[in-house]
Structure 1
């Protein structure tokens, strides 16, 4: 306790998003918390997007998921991909802020713990090897490993491979995204036996159209997965 007090005196607890002083480690200041649009209350049961109304426990879906039913069973997201939420994602993805992983993974675990069985095999959405070499880490893999520790569950970091180096999808339409990712992800040939007969919890940082998660779901189902759940850190909302 004395050592912790000394460390706290030298390095005061700071907000994860803006570095403002906070009372407890690994949290957000009041301002950043208010600007983080958490996906709480009634949400789409497939993607986690917030829905209007009161949360009465009824299973409901957003317009996107009604128009294009998902291949996975259920899904959740922590916050909307905007404001502070977007800043946190980009800090992890491109800013080498791997120190964010424990807190972000804990939030993801909290969102999905009541919908995905504890027996799920946790698997991240993969990066193409060239992108992994440039970035040096796969943020989805780091999140999946941390989530698996919270769940005390098995994790399979290299269960999926991205054989095709797809173009950046920013600015592409939904149909274009699905076309680009068609067949881009497959199960690792040496990991199919580990996937066969298992329920899978897929982990990714952001869901936009759902094309990447669809490709990953198709891949694990082709390898014999019996059920698929998804959790993302952020959800891009229509009109945002």
Structure 2
């Protein structure tokens, strides 16, 4: 009887693991495809906090639009003076039919140099303009770049969540693993952990002030803390508008060069 019970337990465990693996991809897809409007715009205050508590504030304007199957976004720094005009444009494409990842096209404009440079795929895990968020964090990372599994379930501030682990398939990736707490009712991220190449915890993400605006789930405050350097970035958005006209000319390299995005 003891052996039979053990076999039965192992069988249930394997079946449960397979179910978790299947559900992980379904959950990840729903998170990735969470509706965010045909267009959107907002302003944001980004506060950088060093380990001594000294702060620096920056303000950006951000615009996004869907054009066919391509998601286009652009943001520009408005203040302070030393970064004003720095802008970032990104085009994100769906994965190929066979599941192969398609890298986004991204460009960074630096007004001091009057030059646009392309941001390559190998640089997407770099920190964005001195913040604790990477270029990859600014958009939707391709699902084909990671192996996903459910680690378990846990509540975050009273919200029931799945814990999803995204393991980078690229062994050379600077961020080897991402772990997210995903709301079961809305597929919104409430918390995150990011691990370096040596699989050591590097950064922690806390998401707050989450609500629906015009029917779209919106996170108004995100805090990313680098637990290794003790540096922190607080990202707070305001004036969010969905499904209103956005100038399509903003989403061009020429617009960056001519500093048209305001």
Calculate the TM-score normalised by the size of structure 1: 0.30
Greater fraction helix? 1
